[in-house]
Protein backbone atom coordinates (compact mmCIF):
# COMPACT_ATOMS: atom_id res chain seq x y z
CA UNK A 1 0.00 0.00 0.00
CA UNK A 2 0.95 3.65 0.01
CA UNK A 3 3.78 4.56 2.33
CA UNK A 4 5.76 7.69 3.21
CA UNK A 5 9.07 7.31 4.99
CA UNK A 6 10.60 10.24 6.83
CA UNK A 7 14.12 10.77 8.21
CA UNK A 8 15.50 11.61 10.65
CA UNK A 9 13.08 10.98 13.50
CA UNK A 10 14.88 13.54 15.68
CA UNK A 11 17.11 16.42 14.67
CA UNK A 12 18.98 18.91 16.82
CA UNK A 13 20.66 21.91 15.24
CA UNK A 14 22.37 25.04 16.51
CA UNK A 15 20.34 28.21 16.21
CA UNK A 16 21.19 29.89 12.95
CA UNK A 17 22.19 26.65 11.20
CA UNK A 18 20.12 24.86 8.56
CA UNK A 19 17.91 21.82 9.04
CA UNK A 20 17.02 19.27 6.38
CA UNK A 21 14.28 16.62 6.60
CA UNK A 22 13.93 13.98 3.90
CA UNK A 23 11.00 11.87 2.76
CA UNK A 24 10.37 9.16 0.22
CA UNK A 25 7.01 7.95 -1.05
CA UNK A 26 5.91 4.72 -2.67
CA UNK A 27 2.81 5.68 -4.70
CA UNK A 28 4.00 6.95 -8.07
CA UNK A 29 0.56 8.53 -8.64
CA UNK A 30 1.14 10.99 -5.78
CA UNK A 31 1.18 14.57 -7.02
CA UNK A 32 0.70 16.72 -3.93
CA UNK A 33 3.28 16.95 -1.14
CA UNK A 34 2.47 19.12 1.88
CA UNK A 35 4.59 19.72 4.97
CA UNK A 36 2.96 20.27 8.35
CA UNK A 37 4.40 21.67 11.57
CA UNK A 38 2.98 20.54 14.90
CA UNK A 39 3.79 22.55 17.99
CA UNK A 40 3.37 21.08 21.44
CA UNK A 41 -0.28 20.62 22.38
CA UNK A 42 -1.59 21.85 19.04
CA UNK A 43 -2.84 20.41 15.78
CA UNK A 44 -0.60 20.21 12.70
CA UNK A 45 -0.44 23.34 10.54
CA UNK A 46 0.54 23.53 6.88
CA UNK A 47 3.80 25.42 6.36
CA UNK A 48 4.50 24.74 2.69
CA UNK A 49 3.39 22.41 -0.08
CA UNK A 50 4.57 21.46 -3.53
CA UNK A 51 2.85 19.96 -6.52
CA UNK A 52 4.42 17.56 -8.96
CA UNK A 53 4.66 20.07 -11.78
CA UNK A 54 7.44 21.95 -9.97
CA UNK A 55 10.76 20.82 -8.57
CA UNK A 56 11.33 23.46 -5.92
CA UNK A 57 9.37 26.01 -3.93
CA UNK A 58 10.59 28.58 -1.45
CA UNK A 59 8.87 30.71 1.17
CA UNK A 60 11.25 32.91 3.16
CA UNK A 61 13.43 30.58 5.26
CA UNK A 62 11.62 27.43 4.17
CA UNK A 63 12.13 25.56 0.91
CA UNK A 64 10.94 22.23 -0.41
CA UNK A 65 12.44 20.19 -3.24
CA UNK A 66 10.82 17.35 -5.15
CA UNK A 67 12.45 14.64 -7.26
CA UNK A 68 9.58 12.69 -8.84
CA UNK A 69 11.87 10.24 -10.59
CA UNK A 70 13.45 9.16 -7.34
CA UNK A 71 10.23 9.72 -5.37
CA UNK A 72 12.06 11.92 -2.87
CA UNK A 73 11.14 15.26 -1.38
CA UNK A 74 12.86 17.35 1.25
CA UNK A 75 12.25 20.29 3.57
CA UNK A 76 15.01 22.82 4.12
CA UNK A 77 14.88 25.39 6.91
CA UNK A 78 17.63 28.01 6.88
CA UNK A 79 18.73 30.36 9.68
CA UNK A 80 16.84 28.31 12.24
CA UNK A 81 15.26 30.07 15.19
CA UNK A 82 13.97 28.78 18.56
CA UNK A 83 10.37 28.99 17.32
CA UNK A 84 11.21 26.42 14.63
CA UNK A 85 11.34 23.76 17.36
CA UNK A 86 8.39 21.42 16.66
CA UNK A 87 7.47 18.11 15.05
CA UNK A 88 7.44 18.26 11.25
CA UNK A 89 5.44 15.90 9.05
CA UNK A 90 5.82 15.31 5.35
CA UNK A 91 2.87 13.89 3.44
CA UNK A 92 1.85 12.71 0.00
CA UNK A 93 -1.48 12.53 -1.80
CA UNK A 94 -2.86 11.69 -5.24
CA UNK A 95 -4.80 14.89 -5.11
CA UNK A 96 -8.26 13.61 -6.03
CA UNK A 97 -11.41 14.07 -3.94
CA UNK A 98 -11.37 10.54 -2.59
CA UNK A 99 -7.64 10.32 -2.05
CA UNK A 100 -6.22 10.47 1.41
CA UNK A 101 -3.08 12.18 2.61
CA UNK A 102 -0.44 9.74 3.83
CA UNK A 103 1.73 11.24 6.53
CA UNK A 104 5.34 10.44 7.32
CA UNK A 105 6.28 9.41 10.84
CA UNK A 106 7.40 12.89 11.86
CA UNK A 107 10.69 14.60 12.74
CA UNK A 108 11.16 16.23 16.11
CA UNK A 109 13.32 19.30 15.46
CA UNK A 110 15.07 20.97 18.38
CA UNK A 111 16.93 24.25 18.01
CA UNK A 112 19.83 24.68 20.45
CA UNK A 113 20.40 28.29 21.62
CA UNK B 1 -12.61 33.25 15.22
CA UNK B 2 -12.53 31.19 12.06
CA UNK B 3 -11.23 27.77 12.95
CA UNK B 4 -11.78 24.10 13.51
CA UNK B 5 -12.92 23.46 17.06
CA UNK B 6 -13.22 20.20 19.00
CA UNK B 7 -14.81 19.31 22.30
CA UNK B 8 -13.79 18.08 24.73
CA UNK B 9 -10.06 18.79 24.79
CA UNK B 10 -9.44 16.02 27.32
CA UNK B 11 -11.45 12.86 27.89
CA UNK B 12 -10.65 10.32 30.58
CA UNK B 13 -12.90 7.29 30.79
CA UNK B 14 -13.09 3.64 31.78
CA UNK B 15 -12.80 0.67 29.45
CA UNK B 16 -16.13 -0.39 28.04
CA UNK B 17 -17.71 3.07 28.14
CA UNK B 18 -19.15 4.92 25.13
CA UNK B 19 -17.99 8.45 24.39
CA UNK B 20 -18.37 11.12 21.71
CA UNK B 21 -16.09 13.85 20.40
CA UNK B 22 -17.58 16.81 18.55
CA UNK B 23 -16.03 18.84 15.76
CA UNK B 24 -17.16 22.03 14.09
CA UNK B 25 -15.59 24.18 11.39
CA UNK B 26 -16.64 27.65 10.29
CA UNK B 27 -14.28 27.89 7.33
CA UNK B 28 -16.94 27.04 4.76
CA UNK B 29 -15.18 23.78 3.85
CA UNK B 30 -17.07 20.83 2.46
CA UNK B 31 -14.69 18.06 3.49
CA UNK B 32 -13.95 16.97 7.05
CA UNK B 33 -11.66 14.33 8.51
CA UNK B 34 -10.85 12.42 11.67
CA UNK B 35 -7.25 11.49 12.39
CA UNK B 36 -5.74 9.41 15.21
CA UNK B 37 -2.30 10.30 16.57
CA UNK B 38 -0.72 7.66 18.78
CA UNK B 39 1.91 8.08 21.49
CA UNK B 40 4.70 7.87 18.90
CA UNK B 41 3.15 10.77 16.99
CA UNK B 42 2.06 8.66 14.02
CA UNK B 43 -0.80 10.51 12.33
CA UNK B 44 -3.29 8.26 10.56
CA UNK B 45 -6.53 9.11 8.82
CA UNK B 46 -9.63 7.35 10.07
CA UNK B 47 -12.52 8.88 8.12
CA UNK B 48 -13.24 11.55 5.57
CA UNK B 49 -16.61 13.11 4.73
CA UNK B 50 -17.42 15.26 1.73
CA UNK B 51 -20.73 17.13 1.82
CA UNK B 52 -21.95 14.83 4.61
CA UNK B 53 -21.08 11.68 2.66
CA UNK B 54 -18.45 9.21 3.79
CA UNK B 55 -15.65 9.00 1.21
CA UNK B 56 -12.77 7.46 3.18
CA UNK B 57 -13.04 4.77 5.82
CA UNK B 58 -9.66 3.38 6.77
CA UNK B 59 -10.57 -0.04 8.14
CA UNK B 60 -11.41 1.43 11.49
CA UNK B 61 -13.21 -0.92 13.94
CA UNK B 62 -17.00 -0.75 13.83
CA UNK B 63 -16.92 0.63 17.37
CA UNK B 64 -16.02 3.97 15.78
CA UNK B 65 -18.95 5.67 14.09
CA UNK B 66 -18.63 9.12 12.55
CA UNK B 67 -21.69 11.25 12.00
CA UNK B 68 -21.97 14.37 9.90
CA UNK B 69 -25.26 16.21 10.49
CA UNK B 70 -24.19 18.98 8.13
CA UNK B 71 -21.12 20.16 6.25
CA UNK B 72 -19.83 22.11 9.24
CA UNK B 73 -19.94 19.28 11.76
CA UNK B 74 -18.33 15.86 12.01
CA UNK B 75 -18.73 14.01 15.28
CA UNK B 76 -17.04 10.78 16.34
CA UNK B 77 -18.79 8.27 18.58
CA UNK B 78 -16.80 5.41 20.08
CA UNK B 79 -18.50 2.38 21.64
CA UNK B 80 -17.00 -0.07 24.12
CA UNK B 81 -13.77 1.83 24.57
CA UNK B 82 -10.55 -0.19 24.79
CA UNK B 83 -7.12 0.64 26.21
CA UNK B 84 -5.70 0.83 22.68
CA UNK B 85 -8.08 3.64 21.82
CA UNK B 86 -6.03 5.99 24.00
CA UNK B 87 -4.61 8.62 21.64
CA UNK B 88 -5.07 12.17 20.48
CA UNK B 89 -7.87 12.52 17.95
CA UNK B 90 -7.74 15.38 15.48
CA UNK B 91 -10.54 16.73 13.38
CA UNK B 92 -9.61 18.59 10.18
CA UNK B 93 -11.36 20.26 7.28
CA UNK B 94 -10.52 21.37 3.77
CA UNK B 95 -12.02 22.31 0.45
CA UNK B 96 -12.84 19.38 -1.85
CA UNK B 97 -9.97 17.57 -3.48
CA UNK B 98 -6.96 15.84 -2.03
CA UNK B 99 -4.56 18.66 -2.82
CA UNK B 100 -5.97 21.38 -0.61
CA UNK B 101 -4.66 22.52 2.74
CA UNK B 102 -6.19 20.72 5.67
CA UNK B 103 -6.93 22.81 8.75
CA UNK B 104 -6.63 20.85 11.97
CA UNK B 105 -8.45 21.31 15.24
CA UNK B 106 -6.58 21.44 18.57
CA UNK B 107 -7.09 17.74 19.25
CA UNK B 108 -8.88 15.66 21.89
CA UNK B 109 -6.66 13.62 24.17
CA UNK B 110 -8.54 10.42 25.01
CA UNK B 111 -7.29 8.30 27.89
CA UNK B 112 -8.93 4.94 28.51
CA UNK B 113 -8.25 3.45 31.95
Residue A64 has pLDDT above 80, yes or no: yes
Q: B13 near B98, Cβ under 8 Å?
A: no
pLDDT value for A39: 96
Residue A97 has pLDDT above 70, yes or no: no
What's the average model confidence in pLDDT over A36-58? 93
DSSP state of A98: T
Between A84 and B55, the higher pLDDT residue: A84
Residues of chain A positioned with their CB less than 8 A from the CB of B106: 41-43
Residues of chain A positioned with their CB less than 8 A from the CB of B109: none
**Interface contact A43-B107, CB threshold 8 A:** yes
Residues of chain B positioned with their CB less than 8 A from the CB of A94: 98
DSSP state of B24: E
pLDDT value for B96: 85
What's the average model confidence in pLDDT over A61-68? 96
Secondary structure element (H or E) that encloses residue A48, with its range: strand A45-51
Residues of chain A positioned with their CB less than 8 A from the CB of B58: 100
B34 touches chain A (CB under 8 A): no
pLDDT value for B93: 95
Strand pairing report for B43-50 and B31-37? antiparallel
B66 touches chain A (CB under 8 A): no
Strand pairing report for A45-51 and A32-38? antiparallel
pLDDT value for B98: 72
* CB nearest A100 (choices: B56, B97, B105): B56
Show pLDDT as tens, one digit a residue, over chain B (113 residues): 669 999 999 999 999 999 999 999 999 999 999 999 999 889 999 999 888 888 888 878 999 999 999 999 999 999 999 999 999 999 999 998 778 899 999 999 999 99
C-alpha A75/C-alpha A21 separation (Å) is 5
**Interface contact B50-A97, CB threshold 8 A:** yes
Closest residue, chain B, to A108 (C-alpha): B41
Average pLDDT, chain B: 93
Residue A68 has pLDDT above 80, yes or no: yes
C-alpha B65/C-alpha B63 separation (Å) is 6
Q: pLDDT by residue (tens digit) across A20-41?
A: 999 999 999 999 999 999 999 9
pLDDT value for B15: 97
C-alpha A92/C-alpha A49 separation (Å) is 10
Between A36 and A1, the higher pLDDT residue: A36
Give residue B98's Cα distance to chain centre: 17
How many residue pairs bridge chain A and chain B with CB atoms within 8 Å of each other?
65
What's the average model confidence in pLDDT over A61-72? 96
Amino acid sequence: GENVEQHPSTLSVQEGDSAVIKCTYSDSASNYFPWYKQELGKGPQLIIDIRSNVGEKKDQRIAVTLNKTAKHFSLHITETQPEDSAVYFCAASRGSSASKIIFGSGTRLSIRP
Amino acid sequence: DTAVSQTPKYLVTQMGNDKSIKCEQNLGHDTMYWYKQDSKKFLKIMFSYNNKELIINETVPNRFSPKSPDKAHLNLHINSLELGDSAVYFCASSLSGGNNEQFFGPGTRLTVL
